[in-house]
Amino acid sequence: MSNLCWIRRDLRLHDHAALSSSLEDGETTLVFVFDPHILDKLKNKEDRRVTFIYQSLQEMEAELQKRGSSVIVKYGNPEEEIPKLAAELKVKNVYTNRDYEPYAKDRDTKVSKKLHSLNIGFKQFKDSVFFEKQEIQTGSGTIYKVFTPYKNKWLEKFESQGKIISNYECNLKNLRKFLNPESILSIDWYKKIGFIETLPLLSGGTKQALKRLKEFESIIDNYKTARDIPSIEGTSLLSVYIRHGNLSVRDMLRVGTVQRSDGGKTWVSEIVWRDFYQMILDAFPYVEKGPFKPEYAKIKWMGTNEDFAAWCEGRTGYPLVDAAMRCLNATGMMHNRLRMVVASFLCKTLLIDWQKGEKYFAETLLDYDLAANNGGWQWSSSTGCDAQPYFRIFNPYSQSTKFDPQGEFIRQWIPEIAHLSAKEIHQPDELKAPDYYRPIVSYETNRRRALLMYSVVKNK
């Protein structure tokens, strides 16, 4: 008897909980399913994320072929494809890592039931987070809804277990020996799934991920302060690799715990934030469709569709916001500080529903992750758990002068104002920058309107 290991958002062959357990249990075959339920939602058939996944699978396939094995690739409903393949291969168990998104949980429940009817086991493992579900709870046994006490408990638990970071070793000698004639290296899977190869700025695969991780390790000491400056490479640029599982969360954590600097501690804190949002989505799945705080569903958003289009296209007349959005549209990437700036601007300056921004990010971000994206937007819009207070409204001009003081990032993405001085570029004069857009709204006027808009709901 043998096993089937179903890979999803864990595209690697190392430190992989499900794969490690499957290989330890017996001969293992790997399978990946291109899911129409997910792909059909992607409007752009030149979606960079599909190519990133494709590249990751190609790298995995090349490594497996060196060992006389392959990944079986399927296109179809996993509820049908996985049980069907498991039955054909006569496996005793299907192994996979847990996914905490509502669709994934429902899908896995249905797959499990079908496998059970075939007398095939379905074994799931914690892998994409360090602590999951009820592992971090309050003293009364409830889910934390505020980040800081959650983080303190997370760190306490981590310390209490001796800071042990498991490494799920994968004995690839136990892979089933076969070569797939329809592998990701043999045929054009882009054509089969209806997409066009579109190269992302960061290439998919574990080799690039590990290289990037090594580079980040050399600058992590400065991470606490450098991560806020979009014009320099002060962040890790690893989020896309952790999103698709080219790296494990444990790979990320090992770097942070080795470095005792403030930068290393800040990095670990970011990993804890990631666990927190996954936990919130898992425990309160309704946040996928609306605010964590139900009362904020009653907000009467006053912004216009025209202003939303201007925000999406980077023509609001606010340089830092426009530069950030143009960068996102061109690369699929956005600096974390800028995500907060543009999100606050959309909700509290343009007075537009945060869910429209969340959806736009979901369509464009290379590192899009439902839990993190949803959590970030609810934080910025003050509608989520442990969100910033509704009266905290980022001033786009002060954010610009503070985090891009010389206007270097702005110049890169808004060439029509690149000639302006460091002082002028944050709030361009119409006469000196005739080719640039005028501000589509008044920040001060709309700040007052935002406070009123939120307070009406808050005080009911």
Q: Which of 77, 222, 336, 395 is catalytic?
A: 336
CA distance 126 to 362: 25
Q: Which of 222, 21, 195, 205 is nearest to 122 (CA)?
A: 21
Question: Does residue 379 have an active-site annotation?
Answer: no
**Catalytic entry in 154, 189, 377, 379:** 377
Residue 270 falls in the annotated catalytic set: yes
Tell me, what DSSP letter sits at residue 415? Answer: G
End-to-end CA gap in the chain: 63
DSSP sequence for 283-346: H-GGGGTS-SSGGGGG------HHHHHHHHHT-SS-HHHHHHHHHHHHHS---HHHHHHHHHHH
Q: Which of 27, 80, 135, 301 is catalytic?
A: 301
- Cβ partners under 8 Å of residue 278, min gap 6: 100, 128, 129, 132, 371
Catalytic hit among 222, 273, 363, 424? 273
Q: Is 94 helix (H, G, I), strand (E, B) or coil?
A: strand
Q: Do the beta carbons of residue 383 and residue 354 sit within 8 Å?
A: yes
97 counts as catalytic: no
Catalytic-labelled residue, pool 24, 63, 270, 288: 270
The question of whether 373 is a catalytic residue gets the answer no
State the burial class of residue 42 (Cβ atoms within 10 Å of its Cβ: 0-12, 13-18, 19+): middle
Asked if 44 is an active-site residue, the reply is no
273 is catalytic: yes
Among the listed residues 354, 358, 373, 379, the single catalytic one is: 354
Q: Report CA Rg, the chain.
A: 23
Catalytic residues: 270, 273, 301, 336, 354, 377
